[in-house]
């Protein structure tokens, strides 16, 4: 009797334990929504100051990080480790009021380790003049492929200066997905067309604020005005859940299930529908449609001829709002777009 019941009881116990565990929740969410159960880190647990001295302040026992830009310096912090694949997230509140020329960045890079063949995944937040919204830009670089910028730019459906909003990057061997408030906004899939331009080397995670007066707002027309300084950005709900690697030989200490999760997660149809809807409504620049910049689009681009003719100008900027279709001014519009989209380094 005991020998008959024990396997069933054990299986039930194991099933109950596994289903209730954060690991199960991550497995369930790895292919559809983002994980809700991952622990957040304090600053001391996962980060180190990069620059800025007193312009970086820790609040709430290190669970919130405040970085600021003034006439002396900006500020930034970086992860203590390098990571090969994982899930990286922060809730961010951006500076209010006049913020032209100000750039806040949440990104991954290995430029300090591989200066000539670096990889990078960017969220860049571009400030604006009073009464104009912040813009969000994402970019993907691989193997030093900075000659081909893969920028996308979006408008937001909320005011990012009023409250914290969550920005996340899920990176695995096959794909990279950017999220805002758990809504996927961009997916880059490894393909033969991208060749070595798909990021594939360990990277650190960075958060910075700095002066981008030369390009960030209307191609440099509006610059940082330090009468409004300090410009303050705050970060909380810091999540690093990835495969840490040895900085010397880049060997990974990541074992299953992490390697399985980060190597196999895909997007469910419901999530893809959310992403497609976001991109139709909120994407304002798409590098694949920038024919002025790329007469021959990058190899990975899939061109929707109807969409590009009806909704985008030859500079890749979407028509609409204050950007209406007209014959005059196209070249001026393109030059501004090009200047704004210069790589930050």
Peptide bond into 285 cis (omega under 30): no
Banded model confidence at residue 263, pLDDT cuts 50, 70, 90? low
CB 68 within 8 A of CB 49: no
45-84 pLDDT tens trace:
999 999 999 999 999 999 999 999 999 999 999 999 999 9
186-232 pLDDT tens trace:
999 999 988 889 999 999 999 999 999 999 999 999 999 999 999 99
Q: What is the DSSP string of 108-157?
A: EE-TTT-SSS--EEEEEEE--STTS--EEEEEEE-TT-TTS---EEE--S
Q: Comparing C-alpha atoms, which of 96, 166, 169, 165 is closest to residue 133?
A: 96
Query: What is the per-residue pLDDT for 146?
Result: 79
What average pLDDT does the segment 262-276 reach? 84
Read off the pTM.
0.83
Query: What is the per-residue pLDDT for 251?
Result: 76
Q: Please give the CATH topology (third level) of the domain spanning 43-311.
A: Jelly Rolls (2.60.120)
Query: What is the per-residue pLDDT for 250?
Result: 74
203 or 344: which leads in pLDDT: 203
Query: What is the per-residue pLDDT for 94?
Result: 98
Lookup: tokens for 299: 């190899």
Collapsing DSSP states into helix, strand and coil, what is residue 208?
A: strand
Query: What is the per-residue pLDDT for 261?
Result: 61
CA distances for 226 relative to 99, 118, 126, angstroms: 10, 33, 16
What average pLDDT does the segment 262-289 reach? 90
What average pLDDT does the segment 241-256 reach? 77
4 or 250: which leads in pLDDT: 250
Please state which of the ranges 135-144, 257-266, 291-300, 315-324 shows the lowest mean pLDDT: 257-266
The answer to whether 124 is a known catalytic residue is yes
> pLDDT averaged over the chain?
83
Query: What is the per-residue pLDDT for 220?
Result: 95
Would the pLDDT of 115 be above 60?
Answer: yes
What average pLDDT does the segment 245-265 reach? 67
Residue from 45, 120, 151, 340 carrying the catalytic annotation: 120
Query: What is the per-residue pLDDT for 248?
Result: 77
CB 89 within 8 A of CB 171: no
So where are the chain's domains? 43-311
The answer to whether 120 is a known catalytic residue is yes
333 or 51: which leads in pLDDT: 51
Q: How many residues does the chain have?
A: 345
Q: Which of 14-28, 100-114, 138-152, 249-263 has the highest mean pLDDT?
A: 100-114
Q: Comparing C-alpha atoms, which of 161, 169, 77 is closest to residue 123?
A: 169
The CA-based dihedral angle spanning residues 36, 256, 247, 66, taken in that order and rounded to the nearest 10 degrees: 10
| Full strand arrangement of the beta sheet holding 75-79 | 47-51, 75-79, 204-211, 102-109, 120-126, 135-141, 152-154, 283-290, 315-317
Would the pLDDT of 335 be above 50?
Answer: no
Lookup: tokens for 104: 């806040």
9-51 pLDDT tens trace:
434 433 343 334 333 333 344 444 455 678 999 999 999 999 9
Banded model confidence at residue 345, pLDDT cuts 50, 70, 90? very low
Query: What is the per-residue pLDDT for 341?
Result: 44
Query: What is the per-residue pLDDT for 29?
Result: 43
- The C-alpha atoms of residue 68 and residue 104 are separated, in whole angstroms, by 10
Would the pLDDT of 87 be above 90?
Answer: yes
Residue from 36, 124, 268, 300 carrying the catalytic annotation: 124
CB 47 within 8 A of CB 79: yes
């Amino acid at each position: 009797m005991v020998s008959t019941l024990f396997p069933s009881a054990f299986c039930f116990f194991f099933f109950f334990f596994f289903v209730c565990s954060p690991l199960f929740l991550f497995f369930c969410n790895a292919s559809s929504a983002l994980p809700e159960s991952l622990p957040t880190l304090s600053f001391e647990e996962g980060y180190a100051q990069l620059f800025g001295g007193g312009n970086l302040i820790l609040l709430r026992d290190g669970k919130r990080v405040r970085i600021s830009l003034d006439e002396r310096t900006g500020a930034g912090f970086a992860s203590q480790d390098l990571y090969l694949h994982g899930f990286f997230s922060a809730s961010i509140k951006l500076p209010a009021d006049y913020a032209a020329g100000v750039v806040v960045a949440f990104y991954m890079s290995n430029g300090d380790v591989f200066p000539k063949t670096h990889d990078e995944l960017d969220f860049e937040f571009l400030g604006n003049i009073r009464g104009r919204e912040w813009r969000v830009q994402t970019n993907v670089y691989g193997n030093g492929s900075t000659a081909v910028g893969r920028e996308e730019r979006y408008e937001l459906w909320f005011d990012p200066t009023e409250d914290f909003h969550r920005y996340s990057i899920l990176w695995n061997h096959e794909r990279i997905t950017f999220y805002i408030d758990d809504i996927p906004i961009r997916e880059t899939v490894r393909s033969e067309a991208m060749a070595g331009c798909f990021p594939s080397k360990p990277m650190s995670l960075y958060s910075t604020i700095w002066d981008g007066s030369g390009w960030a707002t209307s191609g440099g027309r509006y610059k940082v005005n330090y009468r409004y300084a300090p410009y303050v950005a705050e970060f909380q709900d810091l999540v690093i859940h990835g495969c840490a690697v040895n900085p010397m030989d880049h060997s990974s200490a990541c074992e299953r299930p992490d390697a399985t999760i980060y190597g196999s997660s895909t997007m469910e149809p419901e999530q893809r529908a959310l992403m497609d809807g976001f991109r139709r409504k909120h994407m304002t620049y798409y590098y694949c449609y920038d024919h002025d910049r790329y007469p021959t689009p990058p190899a990975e681009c899939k061109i929707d001829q109807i969409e590009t003719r009806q909704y985008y100008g030859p500079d890749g900027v979407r028509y609409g709002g204050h950007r209406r279709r007209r014959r005059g001014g196209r070249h001026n519009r393109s030059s501004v777009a090009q200047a704004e989209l210069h790589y930050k380094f």
